[in-house]
Amino acid sequence: MNFKRLILPATIMLVALAGCATGKQDNDTSLPESHTTDASNQPFFKAVRKVGFEDAGRFIMVEGSQCTEQANGPEPATMLITHDMPAYVNNGTVILNGWDLRYLHSDHEVRTLRADITHSKLVTGGGGPPVLVFEVAGELSDQNWDDPYEFCVYYTGLGFNSAWINARIEGDYNGISTQALQIHSEGPIATLESLWDSGTLKGHDSMVVIPRGFDFQYDNQFECEFRFPPCRWNDPADHHLRQVAYSLFQTDASPNPDGNPHWVTQTIFKDSGTRTHWVRTRAALIGGESVKLRASFLPLNPRSGRTSICRNGTDGIVHTETFRIYDLPYDYAVPMLTGWNLDYECDHQHVQRAGIWIHDIRFDPDSNGLEYKLSSILRDKNGAPGFNASHRISVLGFNRSSIPPVVVDDRPAPDIQIRLRKQHLNP
């Protein structure tokens, strides 16, 4: 039996039961930025939680990050994350908005690169506040799975009152996964077409694809290295990294004429050449009359061979920029990292750290403006040569229902006494 599959359902049950004995927590209070448990029986982790925007009683956007360490072995690093929501939230979901992976000791070649929200659910009932619960898996491994690494996930959660926002989530718990084997002769860009025909979204519904994860892995092939024990024919293969990229393509949120939502994801995972590798992506859907989309697509440009443009100085630091989007025609707006690219500047290298994530998200309802910061890193052990990073943000928008909910006043009617006054008329 695969006991890991039982983690999220068991935790959901515990969260619901625990809600009976706990009160509502203050969502405006950030948790400490780091926390270390007993190393003898628990993994190290650090977490950040904060509210990016809230329209009390109607909508809330939260963001957070959490990290863990994995010592070794072929199993990915996993985390179970919970985020309390206000009592009015009866629908909600989570978006993968970034990742950060690093080997803890030196740099190495790469076999697998993964960041993936594998399960998600909004737990309601039990007497406590609603809780957004999701499970995350990440991996940075080489051929032998013997190097410890740290995995950090960056996410944005949203919750709303369905009386004010007409929207629902499909494929939320397991996500909608698509997998393909990209043969080296097919080129460096893998194209995955996804189709959803198992839910309740109808042809008249607007629909938006929510990014949930990626998993890149070189295919097994004979690649012998000087080591003990000796190589075998079907040993896992690892290689240098030149470029890794992801781009989710959806033109707009227009109603689907056939009632079956479909979308396309393109990826790159390569060293200086092109090698056969596996690609798996994961997504979820949100649809309804309130759902809107400002779509953006990142064209992928494969990097091959050695270039003559190389910065000689050390550049192995996190780059952070601030971006602003103005005049969005939505009551509420949430940014989604639907396209990103990381590549070494002049040639393939070992990897010590790689990641790209958005954070410090702010939505201003007065100006309908959205602000966020983007951080990125790609380096080997000495930080040279430098790296390039690019990204695209698609905006998930919500407009409140045109017919607001009816507020029923269930207070008892006042005790009104009417006194009749007799009038005498003169003859």
Element (H, E) at 364: strand 353-364
The pTM (predicted TM-score) of the whole model is 0.83
Q: Strands across the sheet with 189-195, in order?
A: 189-195, 262-270, 243-249, 332-344, 387-398, 291-294
What is residue 260's predicted lDDT score, i.e. its pLDDT? 76
Q: Whole-angstrom Cα distance, residue 427 to residue 420?
A: 22
Q: What is the pLDDT of residue 230?
A: 54
Torsion of CA 115, 236, 6, 261, to 10 degrees: 50
Q: Give the whole-number percent of the chain exceeding pLDDT 70.
A: 76
* DSSP code at position 26: -
Q: Which residue has the higher pLDDT, 256 or 280?
A: 280
Exposure b/e, 181-214, CB count within 10 A at least 16 = b: ebeeeeebbbbbebebeebebeeebbbbbbbbbb
C-alpha 400/C-alpha 387 separation (Å) is: 42
Comparison of pLDDT for 289 and 197, the residue scoring more: 289
Per-residue pLDDT averaged across 182-211, rounded?
86
Q: Where is average pLDDT lowest: 55-64, 230-239, 364-373?
A: 230-239
Name the nearest CA neighbour of 141 among 386, 385, 351. Answer: 351
Predicted local confidence at residue 241, as pLDDT? 94
280-317 pLDDT per residue, tens: 999 999 999 999 999 999 999 998 766 666 765 667 78
Q: Residue range 141-151: average pLDDT?
A: 91
- Closest listed residue to residue 203, CA positions, set 284, 285, 287, 264: 287
Question: 262 and 279 in contact (C-beta within 8 Å)?
Answer: no
pLDDT(215) > 60: yes
Question: In the chain, what is the greatest distance between 2 CA atoms, to the nearest angstrom?
Answer: 127
What is the structure's pLDDT at 401? Answer: 86
Based on the number of CB atoms within 10 Å of its own CB, is 43 exposed (0-12), middle (13-18) or buried (19 or more)? middle
Q: What percent of the chain has pLDDT over 90?
A: 61
